[in-house]
Structure 1
Amino acid sequence: MSERARPAIDLNADLAEGFGRYALEGDIAVMPLVDSANIACGFHAGDPRTIDAAVSAAKRHGVRVGAHPGFPDLVGFGRRMMALGTHEITTDLVYQIGAVDAFCRRHGVRLRHVKPHGALGNLAWQDPSVADAVVAAVASVDPELAVLAISGSALESRARAAGLPVAREAYLDRAYRADGTLVPRAEPGAVLHDEHAIVERALELVRHGTVRAVDGTVLDVGPDTLCLHGDTDMAAPLLSAVRTALESEGVALRAFGDPADLPRTAHPAPRSTRR
């Protein structure tokens, strides 16, 4: 890889997903290893003290902060589907985004993006009406906030149609189906733990913008940011291995940019080929 052609990529993780006395082991330890952090907002996880500590740590390590809102489901960690109306979704997200934004103001940093969590995120990827509800919340709080979405999703297209900046996200620790969606967590092999496989995926995504689905389909996803979940086993050493591998390839690791640098217009859906 030539010096002139050196690419850049953002690494992100979903963090601050403890609650009260229950903290995820290694959660804050991940902070120095990412460029952007998606902070739980208190509905699926998180509380005022947890959010405060996470935003403080992000500032200390120069990590950009995003809000990670979800369904009001602490017991199910936001991974259970809920039949909420679009107005409920919009107002729930305004509430949650506002909470993280308030702590950002407290610590003198700027909230940069929004990434829907768990079941809400899955629904927003597939259901245009839910995507519209998410977009309405983000736009009403701050139209300069970037929306993180997977390539070709309803959330991506609706956010772009509304003129919001969009960062395409690809996953290092989740298996993909041939249609570009993630394999449900309840299915075997849905979460990747093997360091070699995760590092190889990161390299493929940066070199080619592609990811391989479980059936061998190669998806062209063109990511702006790569996610490894903070609650994945051994998240910190896995992220450390990814950073080392990418840096050894001459890849610049940095936050995905100011909203003004992200495209707001339509972008081709992911292409797939069988290999």
Structure 2
Amino acid sequence: MKQFKIDINADVGEGIGNEAQLLPFISSCNIACGGHAGYLQTMKTVVKLAKLNSVKIGAHPSFPDKLNFGRVVMKLSNEALFESLTSQIENLQSVLKSEGLQLNHIKPHGALYNLATKDLETANVIIRVIKSLNAPIKLYAPCNSVLADLAIKEQIEVEFEAFADRNYNDDLSLVSRENSNAILHKNDVVLSHVLGIVKQGKVTSINGVEVLIKANTICVHGDTENALGILDYLNTNLIRNGIKII
């Protein structure tokens, strides 16, 4: 059987409080750092848990909008967005430094993530932020997105991300959370979805269209209903299907 490899990541530090349960089942995490959620204490708590479980740590910056959980596009100047994202990441880096750890990657959150996949100006701000950190920090972003393509052009290492618990449109955009079929909850459905992405490089859209996709890392959102059950099920069944979690 051919051996496949995949990283499993989760968005954490967002106020759910389930990190102690989730982290043993993932290989990288994206920690909210004050934009849409998270405070210094939550960052400290999750960083310590990640260290304990040998989980790679990423920053999960967003539009500075806790009221809307970073899921609404904010009209900010490029410089204001640059300063906010830089401040958020630096807050997490200060916690990492106190634990003797390094930042592995950056993954934008919510509306910022979705906007940067198609908007060059927003993507450019994120790339500027990463380059200003002067460290070999990776970017988690969807394949064939404006953000990923720009990062590659700027010689930033990209881990292509796909979502275990989200449905896709024909253009590989995520189905809006406002739709009832946006989120996948059932373990067997999620597994089938992930197996197609990892082993076949394909995902079936909500319209039944098979779309080509590349992924080095798969996300399960920490606030998805049954997130723990999904991760437990994936850990067992990915291995059974010849996929190693790295």
Could you state the TM-score of these two structures normalised by the residue count of structure 1?
A: 0.87
Tell me the amino acid that sits aligned with residue 65 of structure 1. Answer: I
The equivalent residue for 2:138 is: 146
1:192-211 → structure 2 map (5 Å cutoff): 192-211=184-203
The equivalent residue for 2:118 is: 126
CA distance in 1, matches of 2:88, 2:196: 34
Corresponding residue SS for 1:244: helix
1:105 aligns with 2:97: yes
The equivalent residue for 1:186 is: 178
CA distance in 2, matches of 1:238, 1:209: 21
CA distance in 2, matches of 1:170, 1:46: 24
CA distance in 2, matches of 1:208, 1:142: 36
The equivalent residue for 1:10 is: 7
| 1:151–1:180 CA contact under 8 A, matched in 2 | no
CA distance in 2, matches of 1:128, 1:239: 34
1:227 aligns with 2:214: no
CA distance in 1, matches of 2:192, 2:103: 31
Tell me the amino acid that sits aligned with residue 6 of structure 1. Answer: Q
Q: Which moved more, 1:198-207 or 1:42-51?
A: 198-207
Q: 1:27 aligns with which of 15, 19, 29?
A: 19
Aligned Cα root-mean-square deviation (Å) = 1.0
Give the C-alpha shift of residue 26 in structure 1.
2.1
The equivalent residue for 1:267 is: none
CA distance in 2, matches of 1:178, 1:53: 39
Post-superposition Cα deviations, 1:230-261, rounded to whole Å, max 9, x if no partner, equal 0001111111101111011222111xxxxxxx
CA distance in 2, matches of 1:91, 1:45: 17
Corresponding residue SS for 1:111: coil
1:87 aligns with 2:63: no
CA distance in 1, matches of 2:185, 2:91: 32
CA distance in 1, matches of 2:134, 2:10: 22
Gaps of 5+ in 2: none
The equivalent residue for 2:53 is: 61
4+ runs of 1 displaced by more than 4 Å?
none
Tell me the amino acid that sits aligned with residue 208 of structure 2. Answer: G
CA distance in 2, matches of 1:169, 1:49: 28
| 2:23–2:53 CA contact under 8 A, matched in 1 | yes
Give the C-alpha shift of residue 143 in structure 1.
4.5
1:169 aligns with 2:164: no
| 2:142–2:162 CA contact under 8 A, matched in 1 | yes
CA distance in 2, matches of 1:142, 1:8: 29
Post-superposition Cα deviations, 1:21-68, rounded to whole Å, max 9, x if no partner, equal xxx142331111100000000110010110000000000000000000
| 2:19–2:49 CA contact under 8 A, matched in 1 | no
CA distance in 2, matches of 1:142, 1:209: 33
Tell me the amino acid that sits aligned with residue 220 of structure 2. Answer: L
Q: 2:239 aligns with which of 236, 239, 247?
A: 247
1:155 aligns with 2:147: yes
Between the two proteins, what is the percent identity of the paired residues? 35
Give the C-alpha shift of residue 142 in structure 1.
3.2
| 2:12–2:19 CA contact under 8 A, matched in 1 | yes
| 1:31–1:57 CA contact under 8 A, matched in 2 | yes
| 2:193–2:203 CA contact under 8 A, matched in 1 | yes
Post-superposition Cα deviations, 1:57-88, rounded to whole Å, max 9, x if no partner, equal 00000000000000111111111111111111
Give the C-alpha shift of residue 196 in structure 1.
1.1
| 2:19–2:46 CA contact under 8 A, matched in 1 | no
Give the C-alpha shift of residue 165 in structure 1.
0.5
